[in-house]
Structure 1
Amino acid sequence: MSSQGRERLIHFAPLAAVVLFLAVIATAFWYLRLEEMHREQEAVKRDVEYGQQRLRLRLLERQEQLMRLARDVSNRELSAPHFLIRAESLVAQNPELLSVSWIDDRRRVIATQASVSVSAQRDWMDGDVLKAGEAEAGYGLARDLLQPVYSQPITPKDSEAILQLHVPLTLRGKFSGELLAEYSVDGLLRYGVPSEVLAKYAVALLDDKAALLAGQSIPDRPGLSESLPWTGKVNEYEIPVSPVGNGLVLRAQAWRTSQGVVGGTLFWLVAVLASMTTWMLIANWRQSQRRQQAQMALQSETSFRRAMENSMLTGMRALDLQGRIIYVNPAFCQMTGWSEDELIGQSQPFSYWPYEDRDTLAARLEEELEGASDTAGFQMRVLRKDGTKFDARLYVSPLVDATGKHGGWMASMTDITEPNRVRRQLSASYERFTTVLEALDASVSVAPLGSEELLFANKLYRQWFGTTTEGHLKLVVRGGSAETPVSDESMDAVDSFAGFPLHNLTSSAVAEHAEIYMERLGKWLEVRSRYLNWVDGRLAQMVIATDITVRRQAEEQAAAQAERAQSASRLITMGEMASSVAHELNQPLTAISNYCTGMISRIRGGGIAEQDLLNALDKTARQAQRAGQVVQHIRSFVKRSEPRRQLAEVPPMIDQVIELAEIEMRRRQVRLTRQIAPRLPPLNVDPILIEQVLLNLIKNGAESVDAAHRAPVNRLVELRVVPCVVDGQQAVQFSVTDSGRGLSAEALARLYEAFFSTKSEGLGIGLNLCRSIVESHQGRISAENLYNSGQPVGCRFTFWIPVSSIQGTPEAGTNNKTIA
């Protein structure tokens, strides 16, 4: 640069510094102001959201209390006077609650309880009937939806705004009226929003049209200047109040926007920047002077050779046009172990050439001198001075001086011993990996999505399906249909995960699992698949198929054995009841014999009338029918058959069980009582299996009572069947309670173990089968002792069967994992 240019730069540099200084001041002021507004806005938002959560929780608590009151009214557990007492307590405990009213399904007001500050006659009442309007609309919506409904806030004339909650009353699932609760919007604001939020902001409740319902509002202030209109904007935030929705909005406005921080910061920023600018201008001038002196010294003392030696870590070697070494850097000497003096001036063969590689390296040198060497470099072995060798890679390029004259050849050498070792290890690892996969007894295949290319297949896959992707695609399609039906998307060539981030898909996706039957192979296969990123970055799917034919056959044999065990259990039960059954059959057979003997005697004597003969024959037929029914019930109970689920009514099953159980009850002189709830829903079960469970429990209870030697008045077993709700689903609960001595702690812990029994002659399979039968119907069974003054006075076995979750369940014996 000329002296005139340097002078111009010196004059304009301070001006540029001042302009930059002003730009920094304006930017800093704007940034600090925005940062301050952002902090205030975040504070308002956080406090409003906190207030909204508190108000929401208060509304939900009141709603829950009203729903409990509605449930008691729906169940007819409360009369109108008792309702008024409960409503009065609810209104007194919650100041925001103005009134609670009971309205029947004909819109008649049965009872209403209002706060002392509210008149008895409400605006929505016409005498004792619900008047058309907002309340009547909410009444209709609650009747249609059968769930609590909030109406839009209402602002009567010369009165505060109110919010109505309609809670429906249902009787057997039908609408029978509602509870109408009125909230004071002002009360919700005062008692629902935390006091610290009310103290910090102007808090208000608005309707869906932004009309003020309660609280206070701050108008926008005029800006400080026309160029800064945002300085007068009130800092506010509003959010809808759930569960009311957009009809009730909570808004908070900051009382003022502080500007002191900005003003103080600006003052100190200006002072600091002014001092720094002055100091920087002086320091910059002095630094420029010192830099010029240093550059002149460096130019005279630094050379190209020293710069290359100090900066290069790669070994450098230069040859002249005749092939003699004219330069080596310290890195080259350190690699080879030869000094610079020993190497410079050498001609081929060089001392760092291994003896056995000299012919090959000499040919490479001729190519280098002729300029025919490969620009990608070549690999060679280098001999160190101590006799050791290492692998190196040489890159050769022409050596051209500053005048453009070609003076020789420059070569750079890099030690690649470690990369070669890693490469060999990777190759060996790949061979081991391939050997392991080839030896697996599972089929492994990998194929990209949307392509018929097979990226990898082990030996077993090739034996089963060949070298195409046909088997891979069949496993994917049939394995994917194990839990979800085949859709149009699954038939498309584009995967359903297309467009998703590959990293998230392969790292978070859960491996899919299915069991399928391949007719082509005649095998059951367990198929597992998951997505992975292939080495080239493509999204691929790996499928592993394992032969589980032996396991499936074992499962089928186990299921068959379980069915035989259930049938054996019923036979054992009937065998234990054989004497009772014989006694039960003996009565009708004896009666038949007596009737027949009497009729024969009277017929021979000629002293029987036709009507008397008919009566005797009728009684004989009834006794024969009774004996036949006993035999039929026993035959149907012990008959070995395939489990068959069907929609079955509970009362007929109970009747069948009681007819069989009463035989054992009479033999052991134990009373059997039953409490069956009316209108029980039908169950999708195998009736014989459920009867087997109940009969086993009743029989065990009778044996426990008999073993306890209870007094005749206390020798009883109670069967109770009622509806219940378990884990949010409807169910039917069966319980068998006896008055025996209960079970020990060890027996309770091992009650359902196979072959464990509390009876000396027991086989220990009855309760184990009961548990298996109940759990196969998606139910649970439990047992507990009953105590009186710390002494066991009996035991209760309880099990429940769900109503809706098993509708459409495949028949017993079918494996849900199986795919045809």
Structure 2
Amino acid sequence: MQDSIPAAEAAEPAPATPGWWRRWWRRQTPGRQDRFAMLAPLAAVVLFLAAIMSAFWYLRLEETEREQEAVQRDVEYAQQRVRLRLLERQEQLMRIARDIANKEIDPEDFMARAEAMVNQYPEMQSISWIDERRKVKASYAAPSVTPNQLFVAGEVLRPGETENIYSLARDLLQPVYSQPLPGSDGNGLLQLHVPFSDQNRFGGVIVGEYSIDGLLRYAVPADVAAKYAVALLDGRGRLIAGNSVPARAPAIKLLPWAARPVESEVPVSPVGNGLVLRAQAYRTSLGVIGSGLFWLVGALSAMTAWMLIANWRHTRRRMQAQQALVSETNFRRAMENSVLTGMRALDMQGRITYVNAAFCQMTGWTEAELVGRAPPYPYWPEADREVLTQRLDDELNGRALPGGIQMRVKRKDGSLFDARLYVSPLIDAKGHQTGWMTSMTDITEPNRIREQLSASYERFTTVLEALDASVSVAPLGSEELLFANKLYRQWFGVHTQGHLQMVAQAGVPEQPRNDESLDAVDSFAGLPTGTLTSARSENAEIFVPELGKWLEVRSRYLNWVDGRLAQMVIATDITPRRHAEEQAAAQAERAQSSSRLITMGEMASSVAHELNQPLTAITNYCNGLVSRIHGGNIQQADLLAALEKTSRQAQRAGQIIQRIRSFVKRSEPNRTLSDVTQMVNEAVELAEIELRRRNVRLSHYVAARLPRLLVDPILIEQVLVNLMKNAAESIEAAHRPAAARSVELRVIPRQEGEQPVVEFSVLDSGRGLAPEVMDRLYEAFFSTKAEGMGIGLNLCRSIVESHQGRMKAENIYNGTDVTGCRFSFWIPVSNSTNNIAGHNAGVTV
């Protein structure tokens, strides 16, 4: 840049040889000299007048262009205001449509909101709700709307422009504006149809009608409307709102610019239907005074032109050249100082000839300290000078890399930073290479970020490799394995067969479901419409024979780094947990059998007393028969009657023993559709033995027509026997009188939420449960009895919950006094017999 000014001056053509025009003038004849002397001033005047007229014409054109630009700016501003007002009304109508689609407003709420909008915004004429059958559900219109233009609730759209726009909005499912429609008062109307969907189906449209005249009146800024004649035109250029400036003939025919209109037209978006906003500037003619002033200036200019023309032209040329040179210099200097990339120029020998401000700012060295320096340069680190000297030699010989080179740069304060340099030949105006141009960019921060990303990737890989779970990622529809951690490779190798095997065994779909009936699935692409990172993962437990392990498999879909949809599978070894669950199930089975044996052990004396009666009766009958047979005084009828009574007593004793045997026998779980009444009767038969021994009265009620339950009847009987036995013990511990020693068993149907259930409840008249006991009621090995083991109620709740039921206990109050306790549990009703085998295989007792 320091050499730019001398170069410009050198480029200026050399002045002609002094005196040449004098020699030419002397060679002319005197007559020709006179003609030239006469014609020269005339030619100068004519040229001056032409210049003045051209100057007036040029200035007038510039003024017209400025006015045109002002009109253009103002009309674009007005168009933005109109567009913004249309978009605001469109957004409000879309919010109403969304509320209707979400069932948040009804026709009454719609009328209230429509009335508020129409009253608030004068350009709104009416707002209507039309359903998917073209039927008007609700409509509100301004008082100025005539009856023949109203949408009447309950009517169906008639064929016409409105029905066509309705069909277009239904097909596009996007807001659609109509063509300008004729209004009752001669002003045009504009309709906006906003469609909405009801459960992915077209649910109708919200129709808003705008007054085009009101839209122009209230949307166009007042200052624009005051300065120009603003109008709205249709697609054919016809005026539909506003006013226009009438064409006027110019005052002077010689001035054609006086009749040129100054106007601008812009389309009104987002209508997109040919509606155009036009603004025309109010113009006044120049008139006679203006024309006279023009001629006066022309005459005066003609008189003085011949005295100033030479000096003016010469001065003007020099000023233009000087201004152009200054502007060019300032522009180049501003451009060089504003760029953030460091620029350095070298000559063919490697000497620095130019550096910009960014280069000096990066290195800390000034322009005076760098320009003229030969290698090694002061910003080269001492440790890298040998390498950088070789690279500079390659650059000067044209062997620079197209992708640039990376190097360390030393600042003046001694600190270092990373930079990337790009080298290109420096070509002058004549096409000759004068050196090399180098651009330098500071890449310290990108290098630091790259190193952090690399370290983060290494940490992430280390964590995944150290996981005690197998992680694998494979794209859908391909056998390529995108990622596998160390444990996966130990189990399945580096192939994708293990990934696909786990997906198949776990029953996880290899691709997202493509069910058009589901709102969360795109029926066209077959992919979830929600973000994949928020998709619910699928869990399953599978057994892999090749590994001999039980695995818990979790899978989810994700977008891979290359944009492909992939499936990630995480498999965790749960073999120890499965073994522990199997052992816990076996322990639970043994605990339930032990509980029944303990119950029978506690009821041993009662059972013995119950068996003693039929056995004593059998003995008495047999002794009586023997005595009467020996005496010979027995008839055959008496003998048969005595034998029948003996048989009945023996059957009674056998039934008691068989019932006890089936109750305490250890067996595999067998869930069947069981009759509730039969289960209750058998449990009552067992419990009555203990209740009679404790002098407790038992009453039970079973509702009629109860559905059969999918349960193990022996386990349900065990729960009922334990609850009735505990109720009898609670009554005995409370020392209730004989009249108050009662236990009630009730079985009734009811609803638990939306699930039909059968509820079993046992009510006693004991002393109830203390609050501290209620909190620990179902804890294992917790008991309020000195001889109790504390496993009865815990097992009862486990049995009920294994049948998908729930159990609870509560005290019965009479005022503030506790008059007893109520234990209840419910079992859900099974609606199908197809799940019997699955329940039997899935529960261990």
TM-score, scaled relative to structure 1 = 0.68
Q: Does the CA-based 8 Å contact 1:777-1:806 persist in structure 2?
A: no
Specify the alignment match of 1:773 in structure 2: 799
Report whether the alignment pairs 1:514 with 2:540.
yes
Specify the alignment match of 1:443 in structure 2: 470
Secondary structure, in 3 states, of the residue corresponding to 1:731?
strand
Q: For residues 395 and 500 of structure 1, do their structure 2 counterparts lie closer, same or farther at Cα, with a shift above 3 Å needed?
A: farther
Specify the alignment match of 2:457 in structure 1: 430
1:524 CA drift (Å): 0.4
Q: Does the CA-based 8 Å contact 2:93-2:208 persist in structure 1?
A: no
For 2:321 and 2:748, locate their aligned partners in 1 and report how far apart those are by CA, in whole Å.
101
1:711 CA drift (Å): 2.0
Q: Does the CA-based 8 Å contact 1:785-1:796 persist in structure 2?
A: yes
Specify the alignment match of 1:728 in structure 2: 754
Q: Does the CA-based 8 Å contact 1:44-1:237 persist in structure 2?
A: no
Q: For residues 779 and 644 of structure 1, do their structure 2 counterparts lie closer, same or farther at Cα, with a shift above 3 Å needed?
A: same
Q: For residues 498 and 542 of structure 1, do their structure 2 counterparts lie closer, same or farther at Cα, with a shift above 3 Å needed?
A: farther
Q: Letter of the 2:777 partner, please give it.
A: L
1:299 CA drift (Å): 4.4
1:230 CA drift (Å): 3.6
For 2:407 and 2:193, locate their aligned partners in 1 and report how far apart those are by CA, in whole Å.
75
Specify the alignment match of 1:460 in structure 2: 487
Specify the alignment match of 1:13 in structure 2: 65
Once the two structures are superposed, the pairs formed by residues 174-213 of structure 1 within 5 Å of their partners are 206=154
For 2:529 and 2:420, locate their aligned partners in 1 and report how far apart those are by CA, in whole Å.
36
1:496 CA drift (Å): 9.7
Structure 1: state its 5+ residue gaps: 56-188, 211-221, 240-245, 282-292, 490-494
Specify the alignment match of 1:799 in structure 2: 825
Q: Does the CA-based 8 Å contact 2:513-2:527 persist in structure 1?
A: no
For 2:95 and 2:566, locate their aligned partners in 1 and report how far apart those are by CA, in whole Å.
48
For 2:728 and 2:485, locate their aligned partners in 1 and report how far apart those are by CA, in whole Å.
64
Select the residue among 651, 657, 670 that pairs with 2:677.
Answer: 651
1:540 CA drift (Å): 1.9
Residue by residue, what CA displacement relative to the aligned partner does 1:397-441 show, whole Å, maximum 9, x if unpaired? 111223332110011122223322332333233223222222222
For 1:252 and 1:9, locate their aligned partners in 2 and report how far apart those are by CA, in whole Å.
48
Select the residue among 671, 679, 684 that pairs with 2:710.
Answer: 684
Select the residue among 393, 404, 411 that pairs with 1:384.
Answer: 411
1:519 CA drift (Å): 0.9
For 2:373 and 2:225, locate their aligned partners in 1 and report how far apart those are by CA, in whole Å.
69
1:757 CA drift (Å): 1.6
Specify the alignment match of 1:103 in structure 2: none
Select the residue among 551, 554, 573 that pairs with 1:547.
Answer: 573
Identity of counterpart residues, as a percentage? 57
Q: For residues 736 and 468 of structure 1, do their structure 2 counterparts lie closer, same or farther at Cα, with a shift above 3 Å needed?
A: same
Q: For residues 337 and 44 of structure 1, do their structure 2 counterparts lie closer, same or farther at Cα, with a shift above 3 Å needed?
A: closer
Q: How many residues align?
A: 641
Secondary structure, in 3 states, of the residue corresponding to 2:581?
helix
Q: Does the CA-based 8 Å contact 1:643-1:812 persist in structure 2?
A: no
Q: For residues 805 and 797 of structure 1, do their structure 2 counterparts lie closer, same or farther at Cα, with a shift above 3 Å needed?
A: farther
1:604 CA drift (Å): 1.7
TM-score, scaled relative to structure 2 = 0.67
Secondary structure, in 3 states, of the residue corresponding to 1:664?
helix
Secondary structure, in 3 states, of the residue corresponding to 1:532?
strand
Q: Letter of the 1:782 partner, please give it.
A: K
For 2:502 and 2:404, locate their aligned partners in 1 and report how far apart those are by CA, in whole Å.
48
Secondary structure, in 3 states, of the residue corresponding to 1:722?
strand
1:748 CA drift (Å): 1.9
Report whether the alignment pairs 1:749 with 2:762.
no
For 2:512 and 2:79, locate their aligned partners in 1 and report how far apart those are by CA, in whole Å.
61
Once the two structures are superposed, the pairs formed by residues 251-650 of structure 1 within 5 Å of their partners are 263=217, 268=222, 271-274=225-228, 297=323, 299-300=325-326, 302-303=329-330, 306-481=333-508, 499=525, 504-650=530-676
Q: Does the CA-based 8 Å contact 1:321-1:408 persist in structure 2?
A: yes
Q: Does the CA-based 8 Å contact 2:470-2:488 persist in structure 1?
A: yes
Q: Does the CA-based 8 Å contact 1:17-1:277 persist in structure 2?
A: no
1:799 CA drift (Å): 1.1
Residue by residue, what CA displacement relative to the aligned partner does 1:289-340 show, whole Å, maximum 9, x if unpaired? xxxx999757415356623431122222111011111112233233333333
1:745 CA drift (Å): 1.4
Q: Does the CA-based 8 Å contact 2:727-2:764 persist in structure 1?
A: yes
Q: For residues 457 and 722 of structure 1, do their structure 2 counterparts lie closer, same or farther at Cα, with a shift above 3 Å needed?
A: same
Q: Does the CA-based 8 Å contact 2:541-2:553 persist in structure 1?
A: yes
Q: Letter of the 2:424 partner, please give it.
A: S
Larger Rg: 2
Q: For residues 24 and 406 of structure 1, do their structure 2 counterparts lie closer, same or farther at Cα, with a shift above 3 Å needed?
A: closer
Specify the alignment match of 2:745 in structure 1: 719
Q: For residues 578 and 36 of structure 1, do their structure 2 counterparts lie closer, same or farther at Cα, with a shift above 3 Å needed?
A: closer
Q: For residues 267 and 677 of structure 1, do their structure 2 counterparts lie closer, same or farther at Cα, with a shift above 3 Å needed?
A: closer
1:268 CA drift (Å): 3.4
Q: Does the CA-based 8 Å contact 2:670-2:840 persist in structure 1?
A: no
Q: Does the CA-based 8 Å contact 2:337-2:356 persist in structure 1?
A: no
Q: For residues 259 and 759 of structure 1, do their structure 2 counterparts lie closer, same or farther at Cα, with a shift above 3 Å needed?
A: farther
Specify the alignment match of 1:784 in structure 2: 810
Q: For residues 313 and 227 of structure 1, do their structure 2 counterparts lie closer, same or farther at Cα, with a shift above 3 Å needed?
A: same
Over the aligned positions, Cα root-mean-square deviation in angstroms equals 4.7
For 1:226 and 1:476, locate their aligned partners in 2 and report how far apart those are by CA, in whole Å.
71
1:375 CA drift (Å): 1.5
Secondary structure, in 3 states, of the residue corresponding to 1:785?
strand
For 1:425 and 1:253, locate their aligned partners in 2 and report how far apart those are by CA, in whole Å.
56
For 1:29 and 1:381, locate their aligned partners in 2 and report how far apart those are by CA, in whole Å.
55
